[in-house]
Chain A
Amino acid sequence: MLSKSSARMFFLVGTALCAVAFILLTLDTFQQIPGQTNQDELSPAAIRGKHLFDSSNCMGCHTILGEGAYYAPELTRVYDRRGPEFIAAMLRDPAAMYPGRRRMEQYDFTEEQISDLVAFLEWVGKMDLNGFPANPPLAANAGVAAAPDDGRPAIFGQMCTACHAVGGRGGSVGPSLDGVGTRFDAEYLTRWLTDPQSVRPGTAMPDLPLTEAQVSELTAYLVTLHD
């Protein structure tokens, strides 16, 4: 039968061995983190962005690297998913991109702070995370992720699919854009994208921060979408 002193030995030796192994692994991990996270690309702007991210407690609603709160979208790959314009628009006016939805904090960031945060999110988005976040394995009717080569401009994936779906993939805030080219012509769509309120006052469609070139690029794509 186990005696108390051998139980104590089990505790002390086991703990000591594991603690030593853990410390050695930690030292090795700290050697490898700079490579795996591209620390050489961590610009002063991104560093300021990281500290701003902390002092604004973005983690109190969002997850980043899968850590944080479960109230708002995961931000690790948001730079790829939405792009810099979208993120900047969110940070200037959180209701801009998702009017009437679950609310984000209204921060009063300066433009410089916004670009710092964007730089931080861009840097985080490039880390090697051992495959996280995984591509959704059951996403059968692939749209945004798997078949982006239906001629859609990059800005479409960033700005529009947050609310609208095409071919069953994308957001559900606005109506699906399938067949939008049948319903509207290029002139109407240009006005709609430039100033939605003048076309249909009171619409939930935000006034997107788009350049003229982007608007014509988007219009050219939208008119190709037929039922």
Chain B
Amino acid sequence: MKYESQRIAYWFFATCMLLFGLQLVYGFIMAFAHAGLDGLHDIIPFHTARAVHTNLLVMWNLCGFMGAAYFIVPEESERELYWPKLAVVQLVAFVAVGVTAVIGFHFSWWEGRKFLEIPRPLDYLVVVDVLLFIANIGMTILKGKRITTTASVLFFGLLMAALLYLPGMIPTDNQTQDSYLRWWVVHLWVEGVWELIMGGILAFLLIKLTGIDREIIEKWLYVIVGLTFLSGILGTGHHYYYIGTPSYWLWIGGIFSALEPLAFLGMAMYGITMARKGGRKHANRTALAWTVGCCVMSFVGAGFLGFAHTLPQVNMYTHGTLVTAMHGHMAFWGAYAMLVLAIITYAMPLLTGRKLYDRPGAAFAFWTSNIGMIAMTLAFGIAGVTQVALERRMGMDFLAVQEEVEVHFWGLILAATLFTLGITAFIVNFIQHGLPKGDVEATLGGAAPDESTDTSDDDGAVAAADPVEA
């Protein structure tokens, strides 16, 4: 870490941990309701739990992206943040809006459109808040010593994410138009501009962790985000098969969305190749595990499991079933949750000056959460395929099928417990790092690394020479 203002990232990451933990609680409430135990129905009914679960997910992911940007951009631009104080204000406002929304959901204050439940007045606040963030990052990049591809891709992704929130706010009376525009936010986020954010953060991590030349990494970054948009924009059509839109979307959506896994395959190959070729053995192996893990699991969850139900012939039967929930979990986990956990794992030792990545808990968190998530995906998958076979193919009644699949939700609960153990270990490790402290020099352990090239890293070399293990 080279700049004082990068420290603000810590508070964004801490918020992530808090919201993530809370998200899991509401996941359990829903899983128990599916398994037949809806004892909380009168206090937290299913639709409240669901709105909280998914909105907290989106909030902590965004919060992680913002923290990552505040950490990465000063380093890439080689200067302090343009308005460090604004970053604090912007975090506090973000949390205030988020907390208000979550409390509101418990009192039925919502819009009731899947993933966009946040009520309209708060939508405007979110937009203003995110624009402040964009302005801060943008000014830092503009006034910086250099403008790197990594920073530009990250910035462009964040800017587009903010702008694409707007179509979701266009009022309409027609359910089909409503749904059409909802996907401009939901799909064009996760299968479009968020992938730019992902590409930018991964490029930064790979440059730092593997020591591979920036030019090579950034060239492939362009190829990957190129593939993303080439397939992902028209791939939005895979949500326009059966909602009352023209039938040309069946083949346009089918063909282009079938190409979407290429971008994720590219991401996976990129991560693995760079990690293997990389000359430098960075001391923070756990951060590298999360980085490469993110590349691989996003391919499995988004690429492979997305492809499994993206063709119109298949989607006719899987549309709106638990198969979608299976894919949603693994895709969000692999692509965005693991990404945020990767940058946190990389940044924490630098922010706090404590190197805890060799603690057994750090490896335990990585493996347990991933194995838990794979098992959760299997549980959702078996329930989903059973639902498709019995309800959609054989015509059994919805509720009768739900009773058939109840047992798989006990499987889900077991898997989710394992997953939660892993995440708990991650959060404990996070807390053990303590608060950001010391000045920038002290964090570097007194060593003065060569700052002129990118391959010079701040803690890798230092840690190798100076094993300050706790």
Residue ranges of A at the interface with B (Cβ–Cβ < 8 Å): 2-4, 7-8, 10-11, 14-15, 18-19, 21-22, 25-26, 28-30, 32-34, 36-37, 39, 42, 47, 50-51, 53-61, 63-74, 98, 101-103, 105, 124, 127-139, 145, 162, 169-173
Contacts and interface: CB of A to CB of B under 8 A. Distances in A.
B243 A65 contact: yes
B383 to A, nearest CB: 9
A127 B175 CA distance: 10
Contacts of A4: 149, 215, 218-219, 222
A128 B229 CA distance: 30
B226 A172 contact: no
Contacts of A135: 395
A53 B112 contact: yes
Given A15-B233, A102-B36, 10 more contacts: A7-B223, A14-B229, A22-B233, A30-B180, A54-B112, A68-B114, A71-B50, A130-B247, A134-B317, A172-B397
Contacts of B226: 7, 10-11, 14-15
13 contacts: A4-B222, A7-B226, A15-B233, A21-B233, A33-B180, A37-B174, A37-B244, A58-B47, A60-B114, A68-B114, A70-B324, A72-B398, A129-B243
Given A15-B226, A50-B173, A103-B41, A36 B244 contact: yes
A48 to B, nearest CB: 9
Contacts of A171: 397, 399-400
Contact of B175 (A64, A98, A169): A64
Interface in B129-159: 149
A191 B393 CA distance: 38
Contacts of A32: 245-246
Contacts of B162: none
Contacts of B36: 102
A58 B46 CA distance: 10
Contacts of B317: 134
B432 interface: no
10 closest Cβ pairs, A-B complex: A60-B47, A136-B395, A132-B242, A66-B320, A139-B395, A57-B112, A11-B226, A7-B222, A63-B320, A66-B319
A216 to B, nearest CB: 27
Given A7-B222, A69-B47, A171-B400, A33 B244 contact: yes
B321 interface: yes
B246 A29 contact: yes
Given A15-B226, A132-B316, A60 B51 contact: yes
Contacts of A29: 180, 240, 245-246, 249
B34 interface: yes
B399 A65 contact: no
Max chain A CB contacts within 10 Å: which of B34, B46, B223?
B46
B233 A102 contact: no
Interface of B: 30, 33-34, 36, 38, 41, 45-48, 50-51, 108, 110-114, 117, 149, 173-180, 182, 215, 218-220, 222-223, 225-226, 229-230, 233-234, 236, 240-250, 252, 316-317, 319-322, 324-325, 387, 391-395, 397-400, 402-403
Contacts of B234: 18, 21-22, 25
A69 B223 contact: no
A33 B245 contact: yes
A55 B402 CA distance: 26
A4 B177 CA distance: 40
B229 A60 contact: no
A218 B334 CA distance: 55
A160 B208 CA distance: 66
Contacts of A58: 47, 112
A102 B399 CA distance: 8
Contact of A2 (B219, B229, B244, B324): B219
Given A7-B223, A37-B174, A60 B112 contact: yes
A98 B403 CA distance: 14
Contact of B236 (A22, A57, A73, A138): A22
Contact of B110 (A42, A57, A103): A57
A25 B245 CA distance: 11
A142 to B, nearest CB: 8
Given A11-B222, A54-B111, A134-B316, A42 B399 contact: no
Contacts of A15: 226, 229-230, 233
A15 B215 CA distance: 22
A98 B391 CA distance: 18
A61 B242 contact: no
A36 B236 CA distance: 19
A174 to B, nearest CB: 12
Contact of A60 (B50, B177, B180, B395): B50
A65 B176 contact: yes
Given A57-B47, A70-B324, A10 B244 contact: no
Contact of A71 (B34, B177, B391, B397): B34
Contacts of B325: 70
A46 to B, nearest CB: 8
A127 B244 contact: yes
A86 B459 CA distance: 67
B399 A127 contact: no
A73 B398 CA distance: 6
